[in-house]
Chain A
């Protein structure tokens, strides 16, 4: 759910960290270059010092050289020793052993005169004086202070951590800023889709960007949908209610007419009564449906034992079916207790069973089963109602729960359905957090499944009849 947040956060964070690392790498490469150049520049003065020392020694003797070397030491921070070809220090000073060693190795031809200071900071140059005599000068740079090419590892780690922490904070804030309204919008959309028509995004605060705009547009849309649907429900409810009064009068008037007309008109009166009962049933179902759709549940939820309820429905349905050479049989393999509206659940089950009785072939039995299904730690009860009728064309299986949907017009009207029974079933089951399904059974007939979540402890199994 938070993937967009995580994505934005990680991408920006990685990008920031990479940029910082790249800049750091480029800076150190530049530093190394500068170091190289500096080093080269540092070589050259030492060579010049050597030539100057040889010339001074030849022109001004030991005193001049001594003066020059002290000048070098004081001003140029180089201490120097000048050797003649025999390896003797020309001023007769005793050089430190490493300096002496370096000079001898050079004179023996091992090692080259190189500008690079060695590990001890020594440089050796072979030069010729104006008279052509060859000398060897070894210099040591005093206090070789140079910038280290790489900063110390500890500093690097600290800097990196500081960068990552700062970047992390900024990116977290950015990702939140971008995704928070999206999360709110998606929550509101889901609530609306679940039938909560009052769902709004609301309170975008001081935001004035595209996301805030989207939220406000969503609220406008939801408001419009809500008022439209409420108006529709109110109208449907009012119509249904108002139809009841004339129907009540019709029913009493029919009673009066029956008394007065007597036997000859009986069949016509029966017909009028049947039709007015059908009208009444349809109005009742419309009212139930309106109540279900508007989510108004007047009756507080009560514990309902599903197999008991199923048993009651089956006994009634079987009694009615036997009069039409059909039967209903219950095979409950499990029990289930749930919180809900008993009457709604009863009519949900009853509608499916009655529908099955209506379509099953004469002499066949409608089989009703109750079983358990475990998914993700949640126990669900599955009620399956199977008839031995003509079934439903595969393309219409999803449609049979729609109001007034009829698979085959002529026969359905004759068989007397209101066209609302299965719709009520679907809505009632959904109100209880369940779902419905329909499929054709292998070997013919329709199987309607009602899946309902069980609450808490399971009802003791009551044997089916």
Chain B
């Protein structure tokens, strides 16, 4: 947990440890970034409102080399931070002040996604057109080239590919990908979709792979559609 509020870090540690989590707190962003890059952690809880090295800068630097899941803590009413954070590749966000129960739930959801599902058959693959996804290995390739996706983006792509050719509503995507009910004020899904679009790029014919269906949701279009 990277947050300049030391007391808050202590309280969160106290709350999460009984659940079996080991929490390391860093109140200084520079140390925090160093520790996050060490590869010793499963997830980072990052406060984006910090003095000195801004939380968003930290996220940008972290994302340059790592796909470590990140849960942002944002200030309510600062929509800009939230949107930029999600664009930079944060997996989810929680406005501060938060209910610790909610924090634990989000952490669980992100970690569940990040861990390969044990029950999926080995080597399960999905492929639509030139995009191929290996669910077990959690890798995605476009025309053979490996895509650098965050866990949310990977899950979103998988969900869209499973429903390729039909419209998936924001409600469905929110439930499947983020593990929570859709809230109209929350544009996380839209931001993740636009990130995914950018990383996938359009079809060679210039056609958009993920189409927005106004008022309904998103659709992964096959080449022939």
**A residues adjacent to B (C-beta < 8 A):** 241, 244-245, 247-256, 259, 273, 276, 280, 284, 287-288, 291, 298-299, 308, 312, 316, 343, 346
B120 adjacent to chain A (CB < 8 Å): no
Check A255–B97 contact: CB distance below 8 A.
Answer: no
B40 CB–A CB distance under 8 Å: no
Expressed in whole angstroms, the minimum distance between the Cβ of A350 and any Cβ of chain B is: 10
B interface residue numbers (CB < 8 A to A): 5, 7-8, 11-12, 14-15, 18, 75-77, 79-80, 96-101, 184-185, 215
Contacting pair B77 A256 (CB below 8 A): no
Task: Return the chain B residue nearest A241 by Cβ.
Answer: B75
Known A-B contacts: A244-B75, A252-B98, A256-B15. Give 19 more (CB < 8 A). Answer: A244-B96, A244-B97, A245-B8, A248-B5, A248-B97, A251-B99, A252-B8, A252-B11, A252-B15, A252-B100, A253-B11, A273-B99, A280-B97, A291-B77, A298-B79, A299-B79, A299-B80, A312-B184, A343-B185
Q: In the docked arrangement, what's the CA distance between A312 and B185, Å?
A: 10
Sort A-B residue pairs by CB-CB distance and give the 4 closest, nearest first: A255-B100, A248-B97, A252-B11, A247-B97
Can you name 9 A-B pairs with beta carbons within 8 Å?
A248-B97, A249-B5, A249-B11, A251-B99, A253-B11, A255-B101, A287-B77, A298-B79, A299-B80
Which A residues are in CB contact (< 8 Å) with B7? Answer: 249
Question: Judging by beta carbons under 8 Å apart, are A284 and B96 in contact?
Answer: no
**Within the complex, which residue of B11, B15, B77 is in contact with A288, where a contact is CB–CB below 8 Å?**
B77
Nearest CB in chain B to that of A240: its residue: B77
Contacting pair A255 B5 (CB below 8 A): no
Chain A neighbourhood of B76, CB < 8 A: 244, 280, 284, 287
Residues of A within 8 A of B5 (CB): 245, 248-249
| B97–A250 CB distance below 8 A | yes
For B14, the chain A residues whose CB sits under 8 A away are: 256
* Complex interface: chain B residues within 8 A of A273 (CB): 99
Residue in chain A with minimal CB distance to B73? A248
State in angstroms the CA–CA spacing of A298 and B81 once bound together.
11
Separation of A249 and B77 alpha carbons in the complex (Å): 19
On chain B, the residues within 8 Å of A247 by CB distance are 97
Chain B residues whose CB sits within 8 angstroms of the CB of A245 once the complex forms: 5, 8
Q: Using known A-B contacts A259-B15, A259-B18, determine if residue A251 contacts B97 with beta carbons closer than 8 Å.
A: yes
Which of B12, B75, B79, B101 has a CB less than 8 Å from the CB of A343? B79
- The distance from the CB of B206 to the nearest CB of chain A, in whole angstroms, is 25
A248 touches B8 (CB 8 A): yes
Least Cβ–Cβ distance between A335 and chain B, in angstroms: 13
A251 to B97, CA, bound (A): 7
State how many angstroms separate the Cβ of B19 from the closest Cβ of chain A: 10
Contact A251 B98 (CB under 8 A): yes
Nearest CB on B from A303, distance (A)? 12
Tell me how far the C-beta of A138 lies from the nearest C-beta in chain B, rounded to whole angstroms: 113
Give the residues in chain A near B18, CB-CB below 8 Å: 259
Q: How far is the CA of A465 from the CA of B201 in the complex (A)?
A: 39
- Of all chain B residues, the one with the shortest Cβ separation from A243 is B97
Q: A309 — nearest CB in chain B belongs to which residue?
A: B184
A149 to chain B, nearest CB (A): 88
Q: Which residue of B lies closest to A285 (CB)?
A: B77
A380 to B80 alpha-carbon distance, docked (Å):
29
Q: How far is the CA of A252 from the CA of B103 in the complex (A)?
A: 10
| A271 CB → nearest B CB, Å | 15
Chain B proximity of A169: nearest CB distance (Å): 57
Listed residue (B77, B80, B99) with the most chain A CB atoms within 10 angstroms of its CB: B77
Which of A247, A248, A250, A308 is the most central at the interface, judged by chain B CB atoms within 10 Å of its CB?
A: A248
Given A244-B75, A287-B77, A346-B185, is A256 in contact with B11 using a C-beta cutoff of 8 Å?
A: yes
* In contact, A316 and B184 (Cβ under 8 angstroms): yes
Contact in complex: B99, A255 (CB < 8 Å): yes
**C-alpha spacing A255/B97, complex, angstroms:** 12
Q: Closest CB-CB distance, A291 to chain B, in whole Å?
A: 7
CB-CB under 8 A from B100, the residues of chain A are 251-252, 254-256
A132–B101 Cα gap in the complex (Å)?
A: 149
B15–A248 touching, CB < 8 Å: no
Q: Are B12 and A252 in contact (CB under 8 A)?
A: yes
B215 near A308 with CB under 8 A, answer: yes
Give B139 Cβ to nearest chain A Cβ, in Å. Answer: 36
Chain B residue nearest to A346 (CB atoms) is B185
CA distance A312 to B171 in the complex (A): 13
Q: Which residue of A lies closest to B5 (CB)?
A: A245
Contacts of A248 in B (CB 8 A): 5, 8, 96-98
Contacts of B97 in A (CB 8 A): 244, 247-248, 250-251, 276, 280
Give complex CA distance A255, B80 in Å: 29
Q: What residues on B are CB-neighbors of A346 within 8 Å?
A: 185
Nearest CB of B to A252, in Å: 4
Q: Name the CB-closest residue of A to B183.
A: A316
Which partner residue on chain A sits nearest B83 by CB separation?
Answer: A299
Alpha-carbon separation in the docked complex, A184 to B37 (Å): 60
Q: Which residues of the partner chain B approach A299 to less than 8 Å between Cβ atoms?
A: 79-80
Q: How far is the CA of A301 from the CA of B80 in the complex (A)?
A: 13
Interface contact A249-B215, CB-CB below 8 Å: no
Minimal Cβ-Cβ distance residue in A for B75: A244
Question: How far is the CB of B183 from the nearest CB of chain A, in Å?
Answer: 9
Contacting residues, chain A, for B98 (C-beta < 8 A): 248, 251-252
Contact between A255 and B8 (Cβ–Cβ < 8 Å)? no
Which residues of A lie under 8 Å from residue B80 when comparing CB positions?
298-299
A423 CB → nearest B CB, Å: 15
Please report the C-alpha to C-alpha distance between residue A19 and residue B106 in the assembled complex, in whole angstroms.
89
Q: How far is the CB of A344 from chain B (nearest CB, A)?
A: 10
In the complex formed, the residue of A with least CB distance to B18 is A259
Bound CA span A287–B8, Å: 22
